[in-house]
Structure 1
Amino acid sequence: MDNEQIPPPKANILVVDDTPDNLRLLSAMLTQMGYEIRRVINGQTALKTAQAAPPDLILLDVMMPDMNGYEVCQHLKACEKTRNIPVIFISALDEVLDKVKAFAVGGVDYITKPFNEEEVFARVENNLIIQRLQKQLIEQNERLQQEIRERQAVLRDREKAELALRLSQFYLDRSKDAIFFINTDAQFVYVNEATCQTLGYSREQMLAMTVPDVDPNFTLSVWQSKLPELRKKDSYHIETIHITQDGRHINVKVQVNYIQFKGQGFFCSSALYLVNC
């Protein structure tokens, strides 16, 4: 019984699209995947719905009359009650500038139409995992702070961060998604089992490695020069290649979130490996 996993509650997703066919298609697809779905057809209704009962995630169409998706996202991020809800944009627009604008106004991901069911599921699930991890880490950090006050003990910043990561390990290790943490020196400080299985390394091997050991496109000097900018972002995305222990090259899409524990910064990464089955 101790090892029995308790499934997470069903996520509540708000789908916003002014095209009824798209709205029905996405709603049916996500309902079949086990999510609870609310759907609205315009930006004003989306804002009212999100403020009345904040969802776990929003799928937001870009091209809508009166108020487009970019404007809706800006309003969401300006409101204390809704600013932390992850927003995935959905659009037939596939230009780089459209995607850049989506991330600039606070979106965490971008899905182009027509929809691919597997891609929608992977992107939605990855962002929900990141959202749950952020909430979990905040709650765990609050519990740790309370314990510290009760015991009148002072732990160093590194010890608090490591303890929070260990408390998260039970959940992270059982995720089917590849998740890893790196520090500002690009060294792996945590990798879950899915990461190890995909890349073919043991956990001990990976914790002795840095990102350049698996990513030929990663440059430490460039990474460190961009750290001040990266710390200010809620999340950002990387498309690159990872090399497995046996020399295979795997395309990977990585979503990275910056997490801080009292001065100690870590980058929590959720990787979608595009492996041919």
Structure 2
Amino acid sequence: MTKTARFLDMKRRGQKIAVLTGYDAPTAKAEAEAGVDIILVGDSVGSNVLGYASEREVTLADICHHVSAVRRGAPQIAIIADLPFRTYDTPETALMNSRKLIAAGADIVKFEGARPDIVQTLVGSSIDVCCHLGLEPQHHDDKRFKGRKAGDAIGLLRDAIALDEAGMAMLVLELVPEEVAGRITKSIKAPTIGIGAGRKTDGQVLVITDVLGFTPANFQHNRRYQDVGQLMLETAKAYAQDVRSGKFPAAENAVSMNKDELAIFLNEKA
């Protein structure tokens, strides 16, 4: 069974798909060992790891670099990789850049928006595609829920069906009402992965730095499982204090020469 076929089977059986973002080898290793089904190397790496002001600054080289790191950390896991902003303006450009992501270690390529033509081109070249509807971080300056009005919700449903008919393997639904996500999920063959889309999708994805609480910021759709940001701050403070006070390094952190070798060394004239 291929990696994407497994997720179709999970949808049929009603088994939820657990997805987390990941950007480096140690995190990928931990997520894979924890039983996460898919790691998403998303353009969220820009604001969460690289210090960029927005997702639009992320480059294809950035994503390829992080995909390779995740693949080294988790050789067997399924990886979705984002096509960055302006790297899929045409189907031909999308295909060229998708091949680079696959070569870096991705299994599935993701892009934003209702572009069945891109899906058809990629699928026609044996590249599995994850689409992304609702809030599109690369294209929407207004980071709010989409599809709250009936007309907009109908548009999302129609777009999802068109992408499904084009052959997408998966669909991320971001910041859409639960009822809309539920109807889309029932209307298409491809598994849906929600982020801020309620309980009725086939799976869920969250950003690992949000889950770990790297910053004080939080979101309604997120659940913080740890406060790693505070832990990092306290750890760095304790380390700096120990260095300045002479508590680190301690005797157990040092290695000494044996007495005979030390005597020879000390008797040597510089």
More helix by share: 2
Which entry has the higher C-alpha Rg, 1 or 2?
A: 2
Richer in strand (by share): 1
| TM-score normalised per structure 1 | 0.30
Using the size of structure 2 for normalisation, the TM-score is 0.30
Higher RCO structure (Cα 8 Å, ≥6 apart): 2
